[in-house]
Amino acid sequence: MVQTLSGGCACGAIHYECNVDPVLMLNCHCRDCQQASGSAYAAVVVVPKAAVQMRGEPRYYRIVGDTGKAVERGFCGTCGSQVTLKLERLPDVLGLQAGSLEDPSIYRPKMDVFTSSAQPWDHMDPGVPKHTQGPPMVSVLSRLSCACHADHDVCPPDEVSNGVP
Ligand SMILES: [Zn+2]
Ligand SMILES: [Zn+2]
């Protein structure tokens, strides 16, 4: 079911809309997400970048993560709310912070990733699949389907990580 996702930052300077279904929703427990969020994990809604309409320009902070690939975190320069995530290894998708959604109750995490750095005080839902490292890229990419395959190579074998189906 396609539902329009919308959301933005606390002060309203940044607003987004996305009218296609998310590719993936996941809780990331990496140290970088912990530091950036100031909490136990980042709840991220992954959507095709091309489907997002953005009003206002997030400021981006770039960091090279454990995978050796850059992650850019978009936040509002006025109110500091984290809104977006760009992943160098998946240039066709955009992460939206679930807390920035207009209706965050629609968030349904499909996996917990980087659980090797999850905090002991963080209670994780045992019903959600766990990955000690990053998300299995193959499942992310398969959901992007032909739109990406059309104009560039999105599935080099080295991006199929961690042997997780
Ligand atoms: Zn703001
Ligand atoms: Zn993370």
Q: Distance, CA 94 to ligand 2 centroid (Å)?
A: 14
Q: Distance, CA 69 to ligand 2 centroid (Å)?
A: 12
Q: Distance, CA 30 to ligand 2 centroid (Å)?
A: 4
Residue range 5-159, CATH number: 3.90.1590.10
pTM of this structure = 0.83
Closest-approaching ligand to the CA atom of 135: 2
Other C-beta atoms closer than 10 Å to the C-beta of 27 total 25
Q: Distance, CA 151 to ligand 1 centroid (Å)?
A: 35
End-to-end CA distance of the chain: 25
Mean pLDDT of 6-33: 95
Q: Distance, CA 14 to ligand 1 centroid (Å)?
A: 6
Q: Residue 120 pLDDT more than 80?
A: yes
Angle (CA) 42 47 52, round 5° = 115
Across the chain, mean pLDDT equals 86
Mean pLDDT of 119-131: 96
Mean pLDDT of 51-61: 97
Q: Residue 5 pLDDT more than 80?
A: yes
Q: Residue 163 pLDDT more than 80?
A: no
Encode pLDDT of 131-147 as tens digits: 998 888 766 666 665 44
Q: Distance, CA 154 to ligand 1 centroid (Å)?
A: 33
Mean pLDDT of 10-15: 98
Q: Distance, CA 33 to ligand 2 centroid (Å)?
A: 4
Q: How confident is the model at residue 66 (pLDDT cuts 50, 70, 90)?
A: low
